[in-house]
Amino acid sequence: MKNLFFAFSWIFLSTGVLLTGVAGMQFYLHEITWQHFLNNPSEAVRASIASPAERAREAEITAFMEVQDARAQLVTNFLARYNSPLKPHAKYGRLFVEIADEHGMDFRLLPAIAMQESNLCKVTPPGSYNCLGLGVHARGTWEFESYEENFRAAAIILKNNYIDIGLVTPEQIMRKYTPSSNGSWAVSVNQWMAEMRYDDRSAGRSAKQDADLLEFVSTNDGI
């Protein structure tokens, strides 16, 4: 009888040690400390048994959010590098990304055109807030109430009259946007877009190519 008792005790003890070891390994793999477990045991257990698909999904969302943050910072750095009057630079960096997402276009396109047309809003028709060269002709020029209004109007025009009909590179846009250009307009826009991509002025000169304006557009509605 005593031998049977010891046998059952050994089985229970071995099982407990094994389960504790497995749980400990799970917590280690998911970077869950005992402090986490004590503070929020249900969340710690949930995280430890999350499926690989759930963890991959969480990693994908985290990466996407990091990219979102990086885009605004890239534009902010671009505006600051050339001392644009669009200040605070961080505010307009976020605005350019917001407008681009609303209209399904590359976040670099509007600031790149603004750089080409007005040196990032430094040179515009007085009182017009027209940084992107919209409606500039011999009879006058379009005027806007603010820079934001100008950017939103430009986004609508570029999306509806260019991108949606298949003009999805600066070179293709140039032929309609500024047909008198000898090609320098697209070259410059591509340079500014490359500079924002790499956050580096010299890389803009050396790495420029005809940009795909749909490259940074999210097509995953699940994110």
Domain ranges of the chain: 2-48, 56-206
pLDDT at 69: 73
pLDDT category, 58, cuts 50, 70, 90? low
pLDDT at 190: 97
pLDDT digit string, tens, across residues 170-205 = 999 999 999 999 999 999 999 999 999 999 999 999
Report the distance separating Cα 126 and Cα 64, nearest Å. 40
Asked if 203 and 209 count as a contact pair (C-beta separation under 8 A), the reply is no
Closest CA to 147 of 102, 98, 85, 192: 85
Task: Name which residue leads in pLDDT, 33 or 187.
Answer: 187
pLDDT at 216: 86
Asked if 36 and 42 count as a contact pair (C-beta separation under 8 A), the reply is no
pLDDT at 141: 81
pLDDT at 46: 47
Q: Is the pTM of this model over 0.85?
A: no
Residue 112 has pLDDT above 60, yes or no: yes
Closest CA to 155 of 221, 111, 212, 199: 111
Closest CA to 170 of 151, 187, 194: 187
Report the distance separating Cα 155 and Cα 113, nearest Å. 11
What fold is seen in the domain 56-206? Lysozyme (1.10.530)
